[in-house]
Structure 1
Amino acid sequence: METAHSGRQPERGAFGAFARFVLCGGGVGLASSFAVVALASWIPWVLANALITVVSTLLATELHARYAFGAGGHATWRQHVQSAGSAAGAYTVTCAAMLVLQQLVAGPSALLEQVVYLSASAVAGVARFGVLRLVVFARSRSRATVSPVEATVAHASPPAGAGTLCRAA
């Protein structure tokens, strides 16, 4: 009898996924902040930031696919595009928060700016986690939680004569 072994990680719950999401995303974010500074010494800062943002989003999506959400493999192009969309949404939230702060407070202190930015980042991060878990990597996760018995039944050969019925479905 054929067994199904896909190399996917089993689902370990939302809390574990969130911890891995923060660890992967935070690690990439921290490395990115140093990379932007280093790259900006050779090229204009705006270009360095754009390049590092693209690379870090691709890297973080791969890490989220493999570790944070238990997909156990490479992220698909669809997942990369959806993840980039959620990252753009998070960027929009942090920019909007900073613009609102500038409108409400004339000359805010660096501490207040950091509190507002980090708060907006936290809210956007939680929302992004939800989007990645429930939309972007949902199909991968649901396949990862199929029991070996269900996977074996799903991959079993159809009985003779059922070929046309299976192809029609």
Structure 2
Amino acid sequence: MIRNRKEAPVKSSLASFLRFGILGGGVGILSSFAVVLLATTVPWVVSNALITVASTLLCTELHARYTFGKGRRAGLREHWQSAGSATAAYLATSLAITVLHLAHPAAGMPTEQVVYLGASGLAGVGRFLVLRLYVFADRRDRTAAPVMLAA
């Protein structure tokens, strides 16, 4: 039971973060396998770009409808803004794999998966904050002070 109005945003943020983790994380795990499989036929960076575009479109829809409780499809503005944060995530995962391949050229699929998922997870936390505080925030939420998840 929520005792006062100040607790409501924190509980809402936590619930959104859990939904984000389940939906986005689930798509992310499936995407990590798709990237590796597609990378057997095209360069890894191209594979990552194609899978990132597809998974971003899917996740933006899921996040609009369920994660952030809009109950509707994501609009063009939300897709473009989400694409911006996904671009940053793409760069982070590509950089992580590139560094792995430079440091350990013979890295196998399990090592690539660990590095990719680790970079994806860190980028995901950043994406959550951008989506929660900017992309899917109501106009009145954008003028309010940001809600912190931990404490």
Contact 2:32 2:113 in 1 (8 A): no
Q: Percent identity?
A: 55
Say if 1:45 and 1:105 are closer, same or farther in 2 by CA, change over 3 A.
closer
Q: TM-score, normalised by structure 1?
A: 0.60
Say if 1:106 and 1:75 are closer, same or farther in 2 by CA, change over 3 A.
closer
Q: Which runs of 5 or more residues in structure 2 are unaligned?
A: 1-7, 143-151
How far 1:133 moved relative to its partner? 0.7
Q: Does 1:118 align with 2:117?
A: yes
Match of 1:154 in 2: none
Say if 1:141 and 1:22 are closer, same or farther in 2 by CA, change over 3 A.
farther
Bigger Rg over Cα:
1
Q: Which runs of 5 or more residues in structure 1 are unaligned?
A: 1-9, 144-169
- In structure 2, distance between residues paired with 1:62 and 1:32: 16
- In structure 2, distance between residues paired with 1:48 and 1:93: 15
Contact 2:32 2:117 in 1 (8 A): no
- In structure 2, distance between residues paired with 1:56 and 1:141: 29
Match of 1:103 in 2: 102
How far 1:69 moved relative to its partner? 1.0
Q: Which moved more, 1:69-78 or 1:128-137?
A: 69-78
Q: Does 1:13 align with 2:12?
A: yes
- In structure 2, distance between residues paired with 1:106 and 1:115: 15
Q: Give the match's secondary structure for 2:106.
A: coil
How far 1:85 moved relative to its partner? 1.6
Contact 1:71 1:140 in 2 (8 A): no
CA offsets 1:77-136 (integer angstroms, 9 cap, x no match): 110111112112111100000111122234234433222111111101111111111111
CA offsets 1:44-95 (integer angstroms, 9 cap, x no match): 8689987665443222212101110122322121101111121121111000
Q: TM-score, normalised by structure 2?
A: 0.66
- In structure 2, distance between residues paired with 1:49 and 1:85: 16
